[in-house]
């Protein structure tokens, strides 16, 4: 693996930015080194802000800067770049047939599913109740099932992911699972099982735990529908507290001295800043270093 500075990844609005999620998952789920930076998706100056970071002509998120200083502003190109840069990391399936199919599915996701993407914008806050899928959305879901069924014929690995083992295809389809979850879409048993597996994936749980810290002036995709709870695994009971004796002296994330406390499943845990506290409160089980401190 190349040494030196890691890649820099510029993302925005974890709650809503499905493409940012794709870019981040490529690093997070394959253990690739990265420094993540947040930019403002809704400030009206995204292209200018990106240019200020030396990322022109990028105008959307995510954007990646390589350790050598080259810039990439499209997730499909990022997938190919990272697969080439980290050849040992297994980003594409190893089996040639599965690899071809994975490239197909990733390309079709990148270019297609317009009805689903526009009718059901990704949001990780709730599950809307009573959402009625249009015929075009239903057709996108049928196409999704057809592609996943085809993938099953091309794979040699067993497992919950599109090609059995986790691959770049899952990075691209993870936000689709979030749309199925967020709108309670009626889908085939195959897609329902995939959505359940994705909701329980530790990286997805970490992303959402971070997303829930975000605040927005308004909900850009608010629907006039009742909101039910998020359908993922229920987090452990947890809350920020101002007093108590933590079980740890050093923050489980940074190793720095503890300044902010939370009570998580009955155990007081200390963190070095409110963000690390809050992401742990939002879903402690997403963070192994936090769980290691909690008496079970
Ligand atoms: N084709 C692009 C799509 C990226 C994209 O649409 N990003 C959205 C956020 S999810 C964005 O930056 N929107 C800002 C805007 O439209 O001004 C990719 O693959 O990265």
CA-wise closest residue to 171 among 18, 288, 66, 8:
18
pLDDT digits 0-9 by tens, 20-61: 999 999 999 999 999 999 999 998 999 999 999 999 999 999
Gyration radius of the chain over CA positions: 20
Beta strands in the chain (DSSP E): 7-12, 34-39, 63-65, 71-72, 127-128, 227-228, 238-241, 260-264, 267-271
Helix, strand, coil percentages (3-state) for the chain, rounded to 5, are: 45, 15, 45
Q: What is the distance in A from the centroid of ligand 1 to the CA of 135?
A: 25
Q: Which two tokens stand for residue 219?
A: 């909900």
Residues 6+ apart with CB under 8 A from 68: none
- pLDDT at position 189 is 98
Taking residues 159-167, what's their average pLDDT? Answer: 97
Q: Are 233 and 200 in contact (CB under 8 A)?
A: yes
| Cα 97 to ligand 1 centre (Å) | 30
Closest atom of ligand 1 to CA, residue 110: 19
What tens digit of pLDDT does each residue of 83-140 get? 999 999 999 999 999 999 999 999 999 999 999 999 999 999 999 999 999 999 999 9
Q: Which of 13, 22, 61 best tests ligand 1's pocket when mutated (most atoms within 8 Å of CB)?
A: 61
Q: How confident is the model over 252-289, as pLDDT tens digits?
A: 999 999 999 999 999 999 999 999 999 999 999 999 99
The pLDDT of residue 3? 57
pLDDT at 86: 98
296 pLDDT band, cuts 50/70/90, is low
Give the pLDDT score at 1. Answer: 45
pLDDT in tens, 234-244: 999 999 999 99
Q: How many Å apart are CA 80 and CA 103, to the nearest integer?
A: 10
Q: Alpha-carbon distance 249 to 151, whole Å?
A: 48
Q: Give the mean pLDDT of 202-219.
A: 96
Query: Residue 212: pLDDT above 80?
Result: yes
Whether ligand 1 lies within 6 angstroms of the CB of 75 is answered as yes
What rounded mean pLDDT belongs to the chain? 96
Q: Give the distance (Å) from ligand 1 centre to CA of residue 254.
A: 31
pTM of the model: 0.96
Q: Identify the structural domains of the chain with CATH numbers, from first to last.
A: 7-89 (3.40.30.10), 96-207 (1.20.1050.10), 238-294 (no CATH)
Q: What is residue 36's three-state secondary structure? A: strand
CB 205 within 8 A of CB 286: yes
CA dist 24 and 17 (Å) reads: 11
Whether 10 lines ligand 1, by a CB cut-off of 6 Å, is no
CB distance 62 to 22 below 8 Å: yes
Q: Is the sign of the CA dihedral 140, 145, 146, 151 positive or negative?
A: positive
Separation in Å, CA 122 to CA 219, 253, 257: 12, 28, 37
CA of 242 to the centre of ligand 1 (A): 39
Of 225, 140, 139, 135, the closest CA to residue 183 belongs to: 225
Indicate the top mutation candidate among 19, 43, 124 to test ligand 1's pocket, ranked by most ligand atoms within 8 A of CB. 19
Query: Does residue 61 have its Cβ closer than 6 Å to ligand 1?
Result: yes
How many A from CA of 19 to the centre of ligand 1? 6
- What confidence category does residue 5 fall into, taking pLDDT thresholds of 50, 70 and 90? confident
Q: How far is the CA of 60 from the centre of ligand 1 (A)?
A: 4
Q: Cα of 127 to ligand 1 centre, how many Å?
A: 23
Residue 74 Cβ inside 6 Å of ligand 1? The answer reads yes
């Amino acid at each position: 693996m190349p040494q030196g500075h890691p890649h820099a990844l510029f993302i925005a609005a974890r709650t809503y930015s499905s493409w940012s999620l794709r870019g981040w998952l490529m690093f997070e789920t394959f253990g690739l080194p990265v420094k993540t930076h947040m930019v403002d998706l809704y400030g009206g100056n995204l292209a200018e802000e990106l240019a200020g970071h030396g990322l022109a002509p990028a105008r959307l998120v995510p954007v990646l800067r390589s350790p050598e200083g080259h810039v990439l502003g499209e997730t499909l190109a990022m997938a190919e770049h990272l697969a080439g840069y980290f050849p040992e990391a297994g980003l594409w399936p190893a089996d040639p047939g599965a690899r071809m199919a994975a490239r197909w599915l990733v390309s079709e996701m990148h270019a297609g599913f317009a009805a689903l993407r526009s009718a059901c914008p990704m949001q990780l806050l709730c599950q809307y109740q009573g959402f009625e899928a249009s015929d075009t959305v239903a057709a996108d879901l049928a196409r999704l099932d057809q592609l996943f069924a085809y993938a099953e014929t091309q794979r040699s690995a067993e497992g919950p992911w599109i090609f059995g083992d986790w691959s770049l295809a899952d990075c691209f389809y993870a936000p689709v699972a979030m749309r199925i979850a967020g709108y309670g879409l009626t889908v085939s048993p195959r897609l329902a099982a995939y959505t359940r597996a994705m909701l329980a994936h530790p990286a997805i749980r970490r992303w959402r735990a971070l997303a829930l810290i975000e605040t927005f002036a308004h909900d850009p995709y608010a629907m006039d529908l009742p909101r039910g709870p998020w359908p993922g695994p229920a987090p452990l009971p947890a809350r920020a507290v101002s007093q108590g004796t933590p079980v740890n002296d050093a923050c489980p994330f940074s190793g720095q001295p503890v300044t902010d406390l939370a009570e998580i499943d009955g155990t007081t845990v200390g963190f070095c800043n409110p963000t690390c506290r809050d992401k742990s409160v939002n879903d402690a089980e997403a963070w192994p270093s936090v769980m290691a401190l909690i008496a079970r």
